[in-house]
Structure 1
Amino acid sequence: MTNNKITYGLILLLAAIFQNCASPEKVVYFQDIENLKAQTALVNYEPQLQVGDILTINVSAIDAEAAVPFNLYETPPTVGVMSSNAKPLTYIVDASGVIQFPVIGSVQVGGKTIKENTAYLTNLLKDYIKKPIVNIRLTNFRVTVLGEVKKPGTFQVANERISVVEALGLAGDLTIHGKRKEIQLIREQNGERKFVTLDLTSKKIFESPYFYLAQNDVIYVTPNKTKVNSSAVGTNTGVIISSISILLSLISILLK
């Protein structure tokens, strides 16, 4: 074996290693952000209620006794006295987008935002209560993040508003093997399943109608070729490559 052949072998090995290295264009987020025009206001995104959503609804009024029939609890509190242990019953949006509300009966809530439903229910209650105050909370707002992230899982969202960037942050950010240009968003809405591809390297993600997530959205981070190829070989591949590199270096030195 000549020195030229050894040198040639080392060059090929280094070329293979650098070929798998990620370029900045594939790793850096929001690369064209300097060209993004300042927005006068953030999009006021509110998710629409869907089938299977779980709600808590609290009704109050100046006359506390008048509001009692519209509040359901596992253990009903004493009239005029609210126990700290009183646990409200929840409402599940059925297949028709309807909940069964005390006294009023069927109320169509599906396809409307919480703000819209609050105004709608408040208007209905005016026939029964003077100046009613309605508070609606969505208790099962969660998103799932899978794929090439550091902490995949399902995350509960307390404030009912989260962006794709924030969700990825909850999952510990992407690993070096995640494709920043191919973030897959899976959303079920109105009986349909949508598949959307988002690009974290572009400022356009901030202008996307899918920048803010809906309840039960799933984010999947696609692995790059390096990760896919490494899964097809043994876990000791890195050690083997390092050993070969050291061996070739030693042979090169000994033959000088």
Structure 2
Amino acid sequence: MRYLYIFTFLFLALLSSCGAKRNLIYFSDLSDSSEIVTKVISNVNPIIQQNDILDISVNTLSAESNVLFISNSARQGTSNSYLDKDGYKVDQNGMINFPVVGFIKLAGLNLEEAQKNLTKEINKYVKDPVVNIKFLNFRITVIGEVNRPETFLITDERINLLEALGRAGDMTPYGKRENVLVIREANGVRNMVRLNLNKKSILNSPYFYLKQNDVIYVEAEKTKQKIYSNSNRLMPVWVSAISALTVLLTAFLYNN
């Protein structure tokens, strides 16, 4: 009977050792102070890039003048998707082709700067125009070890990493909070950075506030990788076999 206890103890110890202890707390290095103040140094204003699609509206005191600054597709009612509706695509030279004004470069500017530049150009043709510009393709994709992987369309052009994870239902317990990958493409360059959400220093990262078309990938920790790897497909069979062997061994020792 003594051997049965030893065998059972070793078996349970083996199972419990399969998963290492992990830190599941965000910003776990924060102190217990009731108030912590940090300066926001990240640039939260997204910059217009090549291939962005912009929604641009112009309003003046004259209804006749307003019609001049409506795109042909919108005027003819030929738009067939949200991204095409009233949208102006930024070409490879960073320019859009706007009615009356013609080609104007907006890439490299934030929305406020773009509005000022376009207002200045339109003011040459009509008095006191009011120009509004929004992104139509400000999307964030969250995949990996989250509860609801998805691509989100952001309407206010401002979202941080925690908000994006929240929209995806937060990480599962298997998500590696210390190794979150952010993939960002801008002006033909792809940047990839790994972030540790256990550390408060992430708040000062230029990747904490997200840009249009960023992709967040949450990696699974090794325990889940092992469970679902091809080499461990027979793990349930082995566990069942060991359990059956334990029962038989118990019966054998009991009868002897």
Q: Decide whether the 8 Å contact of 2:41 with 2:204 is kept in 1.
A: no
**Are 2:178 and 1:181 aligned?**
yes
Task: Say how many residue pairs are matched.
Answer: 244
Residue type of the alignment partner of 1:37: I
Within the candidate set 12, 15, 18, 2:13 is matched to 15
> Do the aligned partners of residues 176 and 93 (structure 1) sit closer, same or farther apart at CA in structure 2, a change above 3 Å counting?
same
Q: Structure 1 pair 96/170, CA: closer, same or farther in 2 (3 Å)?
A: same
2:60 paired with 1:61: yes
Match of 1:80 in 2: none
- Give the Cα–Cα distance (whole angstroms) in 2 for the partners of residues 229 and 49 of structure 1: 42
Q: Percent identity?
A: 40
Cα distance in 1 for partners of 2:54, 2:39 equals: 33
Alignment partners' CA distance in 1, 2:177 and 2:44: 24
The residue that corresponds to 1:150 in the other structure is 147
Answer yes or no: is 1:211 the counterpart of 2:208.
yes
Per-residue deviation, 1:18: 2.2
Normalised by the length of structure 1, the TM-score is: 0.84
Deviation of 1:254 (Å)? 6.3
- In 2: Cα distance, 1:206 partner to 1:253 partner: 59
Unaligned runs of at least 5 residues, structure 1: 78-86
Contact persistence 1:10–1:245 (CA under 8 A) = no
Contact 1:143/1:218 (8 A) holds in 2: yes
Aligned pairs for 1:186-201 (under 5 A) are: 186-201=183-198
Alpha-carbon distance in structure 2 between the residues aligned to 1:75 and 1:125 = 19
Separation in 1, partners of 2:160, 2:11:
42
Residue number in structure 2 paired with 1:3 = 2
The residue that corresponds to 1:137 in the other structure is: 134
User: Aligned in 2, Cα 1:253/1:207: closer, same or farther, shift over 3 Å?
Assistant: farther
**Could you state the TM-score of these two structures normalised by the residue count of structure 2?**
0.84
Corresponding residue number in structure 2 for 1:120: 117
1:137: how far off?
Answer: 1.1
Which residue number in structure 2 is paired with residue 202 of structure 1?
199
Q: Deviations over 1:132-182 (max 9, x none)?
A: 100111111111112112222222112211111111122222122221111
Rounded to whole Å, the distance in 1 between the matches of 2:87 and 2:57 is 10
Unaligned runs of 5+ in 2: 77-83
Determine if contact 1:149/1:168 at 8 Å carries over to the other structure. yes
**Structure 1 counterpart of 2:242, which letter?**
I
Classify the secondary structure of the residue corresponding to 1:74. helix
The correspondence for 1:30, drawn from 21, 27, 31, is: 27
